[in-house]
Amino acid sequence: MKSKTKISKQAERKTNPELVETILVSKKNPAWLEVASLITMPRRKRKSINLSELDKAVDKEKIVVVPGKVLSEGEFTKKVKIVALNFSESAKEKLLNAKCEVSSIIDEIKSNPSAKDIKILK
Average pLDDT of the residues in 23-32: 93
Instruction: Please write the tens of the pLDDT for every residue from 63-122.
Output: 999 999 999 999 998 899 999 999 999 999 999 999 999 999 999 999 999 999 999 998
Has residue 1 got a pLDDT over 90? no
Taking Cα atoms as reference points, which of 33, 13, 24, 14 lies closest to residue 115?
33
Average pLDDT of the residues in 28-37: 93
Has residue 61 got a pLDDT over 90? no
CB-CB contact of 111 with 32 (8 Å):
no
Cα separation, 6 vs 4, whole angstroms: 6
Determine what percent of the chain is predicted with pLDDT higher than 90.
Answer: 84
CB-count burial class (<10 Å; 0-12, 13-18, 19+) for 108: buried
Q: Where are the domains of the chain?
A: 4-120
Q: What is the pLDDT of residue 47?
A: 85
Q: What CATH number belongs to 4-120? A: 3.100.10.10
Mean pLDDT of the chain: 92
